Chains A and B, each alone.
Chain A
Amino acid sequence: MSEIVFDGVTRRFPLAKGGDFLAIDCIDLRIEEREFVAIVGPSGCGKTTLMRMAAGLDFPTDGRVLVGGKEVRGPGPERAVVFQQFALMPWKNVRENIGFGLMCRGTPRAEREEAVAHYVQLMSLAGHEDSFPHQLSGGMQQRVAIARAYVMNPAALLMDEPFGALDAQTRIVMQEELVRLARRNPRTVLFITHSVEEAIYLADRVVVMGKRPGRILETLDITATRQAENWEAEPIEEVMDSPAFTHLRSRIWRLLKAREQEAPAA
């Protein structure tokens, strides 16, 4: 059971000079089991905060966050997180980084090594098992981060702008790979991004958020279009070029732009 539910979630931050900053205003959102949902929005709209609350790294001021029917009380491996800055431990090599969660759990060595080897293969990291993070490119480091999330067999995957720190070319490659992985290994995914194209390409549903305060502007269902246009069979550059794709993209851009004009940056 892994559906993610945000029930009337509000988050306020106390300001240094007194008073509160309303980051998120009463959000209701339900992510079904095995659904891939992307949240898209400008910086500061609260999308990362939502993800952190699902991860148990932050808590709502009002309302509840539930995963698999249980209220979130803290971080744990059943809700694996992939961070934008990779967050790999510089003093552990690739193998040790991927196997860290299993080691904490007490998984016996043989089992652990097998699981790590499996994901090393899957994420095309073969040959780099003994390398340290600083010896790897950004893309490879993120692959390690994704591998270490998957190896825990989590019920839910929470990804915070995972490709934000990568250069444009690497980013596209990773997007294709993630799609492949997600279709092969489906689970509930909450994916945060500020790239509209990325959201449309990867997700079953795209939630568009505006800021000041953080609220859901609209939710778009992508599955219908994706299946109708058979995106899974095409390379990413073809998909992003297709009229159906650009149509969705423009729609979301218009939403964001309209919102920006209503409440321009201070």
Chain B
Amino acid sequence: MPNESETIPSRRDLLSLVGSVAGSAAMYQAMTSLGFASESNYKGPIKLSGDPKGASVLVLGAGLAGMTAALELRAAGYKVQVLEFNSRPGGRNWTIRGGDRFTELGGATQTCGFEEGLYLNPGPWRIPYHHRALLDYCKRLGVALEPFIQLNHNALLHASNAFTGKPQRIRDVKADFQGHVSELLAKVTQQSKLDEAVSVEDREILLQALRSWGALDKNYAYKANLISADYRGYAKEPGGGLGAAPVAGEPINLSDILKSRLWRYLQNFALHQFQTTMFQPVGGMDMIGKAFAKQIGDVIQYDAKVIRIQQSDGGVTVSYVNSKTPSTPQIATAEWCVCTIPLSILGQIQIDVGPRMKAAIDAVPYSSSVKIGLQFKRRFWEEDEAIYGGISYTDLPIRQISYPSSGFNRNGRGVLLGAYVFEGANAYEFTSMAPADRVARAVEFGARIHPQYGAEFENGIAVAWHRVPFTLGCAGAWSEKAREEHYDNLCQIDGRIVLAGEHASYLPAWQEGAILSSLDAIKRLHDRVVRI
């Protein structure tokens, strides 16, 4: 049925479309409503009871999935060895700081020019309060957390073709949208048009609630007055002494909000994934990877590029070469193997697994994502605009500007996340640029939201995940159909090999998914080992 795609978008098209129109948050919501779970099922520290009798395990990959496996299996009495492609632990759990050099596929090298203490988390950057496994490991490993500000009412929503391109305050859009909708609903309630749905008794309570929720006046109208100003802020803030009376601002009218489509960004603050409280590790996301490595770093062999994975009745044999310099293949052996290599890479490695697992490995495309960090001479967003943390959303190709959730109210330099593009055409277009161009375009677009960019910009660094040598993409992008056909086959133990990582979870691209996948994999592996 070749014509079907013209009229009926596939679920994947639909998701990508939602993602590009409404930002990745909307996509996550759509994914949730279309059948993805987002809640962690963590039940506390894993208990691997029973004696493995010194069985050996080779873990491939020292990201969070691999290091979780290594930590827990060693604690349970296994002999553990880890092979890692990079020269550092963490994988996508990664932070770039001043002086760090990063060479992407194609050879372009960037040296980060950030001032000491400033950083970019190119991969994961925020932790929902309900990612219980990750939070538990942070606690057990002593990783200090601080709040990650997802919603800042004073940050901005921007549509290129609305309000003559002028960004609007989130508090204005939120309060005004809520106010207008409440007014409409109050009107139909009063006109008895909801009588079938709302009992007489509830009717009065609903009207009270709409007044309270929507900042309506006693006539159930949403207007410029000190009631709405209590929600949306003031045209002139209340002060002290003479002439200090507050002045209410004029709400944006409903039609303008509707046509601007700025309402679509409000779900970024309502979605379960992004509800307060969110966290970030103090000093950078890689504090988590480093904390894992402090425990099990002695068993990690870095700079090891896996080229062949063999298994037999007796065990697993993995061939690897030095990832930095050409070398003759070396061999690592163990009785069991936990392989956390991203499917984008594993699909290219010759691996002795059955056709079902092989088909599953080959069934998952890797999504495109770009993040750009920009250093400025001063924290103008705080000094000039009173924006302390949070995220501004835009329909420009940069999609988001995120303000740092640390170092508030300080003099001196600051680093913004100047672009976070996830899937859709722009992610590929940014990836296709040279790193300096990505930064230049992010500065150019960002200046339409913050004109201070021109005078204050100093330097930047851009990470395009399809150019990242150790993943060749951002994360596994399961289609509903592929998940149905292949997901269980991917997660089953195949002989002596089990796979783990965010790609083997229902929390794609989240660190929680990597850890939960790993815990589930080693639990099943351990059950098998102690039964032998």
Bound pair: A and B?
no
